[in-house]
Amino acid sequence: MSTDLSRKITIAVSLTIVAAIGIGTLIFISQASEKETELSTWNNDGPKHPVYINHPDGLPMVGSGKRAQDGSIISVRCNTCHDNKASNSDAHTGSEIQDFHQSLTFNHARSAASVVTTQKTTKPSI
């Protein structure tokens, strides 16, 4: 009698597992089809998320690491150096640059969102 009961319990547990797997599969398939529908209805001409680019007041400048007699930071305009050098768009790290920005961390083409979110948002870009 215990063998018969054991067999019935094994069958019941097996059927429960099969039913759970089947229900899980149906739920997964229904969610996947909803996502496909959502992606297929995307319209390229529709509204886009807002992108804001920081436009500094005046010319962009960096601190020189030195101070004037009054204690103010001596700044240098970026174009002082950049106007005299050809840009190197192949550089992926600051160590590849010979003259300046050696310690700069690059994010070119890796994560546009990180560049946008770290900048102050002042003016919308169309």
Cα dihedral 67, 73, 76, 77, rounded to 10, equals -170
- Does residue 110 have a pLDDT over 70? no
Residue scoring higher pLDDT (57 or 111): 57
- Does residue 116 have a pLDDT over 60? no
35-88: pLDDT as tens digits: 555 555 666 777 677 777 777 788 888 888 889 999 998 888 888 877 877 777
Tell me which range, 11-25, 55-69, 102-116, is most confidently predicted by mean pLDDT.
11-25
Going from N- to C-terminal start, the domains of the chain cover: 1-47, 52-124
Question: Does the global pTM surpass 0.75?
Answer: no
d(CA 57, CA 59): 7
Residue scoring higher pLDDT (54 or 19): 19
